[in-house]
Amino acid sequence: MANANNFTIGANDEHGMNPPTAGKRTPTMPYIGRSFYENEFNRQAKLEFIFACLRCGFNVYDIHPEVQDVSISTRVVRANRAGLSALVTFAYNASGDGISFNSARGLEVYYSQYNPQAARSRTLSQLVYNRIIAQTGTTGRFVGALSVGVLSSVNCPSTLIEAGFMTNFNEAKLMLNPMFVNGVGEGACQGVCQFLDVPYVERELANYPTIRRGDRGNFVTLAQYLLNEYGNRLSTDGIFGSGTHNAVVTFQRNNGLTQDGIIGRNTWNALLNLDPTSQTLRQGSRNSAVLFLQRLLLSYLYPITSLDSTFGAETLAAVRAFQTENGLTADGIVGRNTWNALLNSSGRPLPN
């Protein structure tokens, strides 16, 4: 087995969100009256991939950290300057006129026959394809050849994941489903690990060490990325300094944890949302589990306009609507029965 620290993995998401890249969106989603933008999936899937790669010990380089679109040529230059061992790009497919839903569905993964390491790119793509299917249960279409810059013009093995079709109603809903998004990122990391003969480290609490002020390394970088998910703007430099310490204390306060600034078992559990269903949530709750709930409800097409980790009136209305439509007591409290229904739901149906 190889040492993950000997490799640098590049991560890339297609398009941008500030402003959103024109045309890269679903048809208007019923019930909520808006489209899901492709980069709402791409960026989050890329982050889940980065989280997994850091946990496995890889060096990671994000060739598209900006929220706006960045040209392919710029990203290619960045990738080649970084001397990457492999590059993984996240995208979502479309078919038809882009205005209406259709039946095209499934995972497609691409490599380029013009890449300097075309055979290895094809192997990487096949492994990533297999692992994402195993991790998510999604339908596989094929592994194919495609000539675009992030595949053809980079010097390392490179793969592009089209995780589904945003013009397919059911796959459009998956774009914002936190369980599916995590599965795509984890599956891609598993494929990279297999490709480079590096052990895959499971996303289990026992695999996250206690870290504190003064520490450095991958798990500090991972914690900084996760803290930024909850509204911070930390540099992901892998150095546990005063800014990271203060962000941890604030996160602990918001999640009812001991405010010691140390990321141990309980704080990792909350940061990673490893078991959000263990918590009973109600109006007034403010923690990471609420953010998971909000993302899930929005993916199911219940109106959530602010993913803010706060269980306010809008989240309450969405929970009550879900409970009513699924034969549950509409008390607005997310306990065991409501969590079970949420985790086994496919969301609201396409209206006739």
Q: What would the pLDDT profile of 173-221 be if each residue is shown by its tens digit? A: 999 999 999 999 999 999 999 999 999 999 999 999 999 999 999 999 9
pLDDT confidence bin for 118, thresholds 50/70/90: very high
Rounded Cα gap, residues 155 and 319, in angstroms? 49
Q: Quote the pTM value.
A: 0.97
Q: Are 292 and 273 in contact (CB under 8 A)?
A: yes
For residues 224 and 314, membership in a common domain is answered with no
Structural domain span for residue 297: 280-343
For residues 254 and 115, membership in a common domain is answered with no
The separation between the first and the last C-alpha atoms of the chain, rounded to the nearest angstrom, is 54
Residue 351 lies in a domain: no
Final residue belonging to a domain, choices 176, 196, 216: 196
pLDDT confidence bin for 115, thresholds 50/70/90: very high
pLDDT in tens, 319-335: 999 999 999 999 999 99
Final residue belonging to a domain, choices 272, 289, 318: 272
For residues 142 and 58, membership in a common domain is answered with yes
For residues 36 and 157, membership in a common domain is answered with yes
Residue 38 lies in a domain: yes
Rounded Cα gap, residues 61 and 172, in angstroms? 28
Rounded Cα gap, residues 234 and 221, in angstroms? 10
For residues 109 and 233, membership in a common domain is answered with no
pLDDT at residue 224 tops 90: yes
pLDDT in tens, 119-177: 999 999 999 999 999 999 999 999 999 999 999 999 999 999 999 999 999 999 999 99
For residues 116 and 155, membership in a common domain is answered with yes
Residue 350 lies in a domain: no
Final residue belonging to a domain, choices 167, 196, 225: 196
For residues 292 and 258, membership in a common domain is answered with no
Residue 124 lies in a domain: yes
Residue 348 lies in a domain: no
> How many CB atoms are located within 10 Å of the residue 181 CB?
27
The number of distinct structural domains making up the chain is: 3
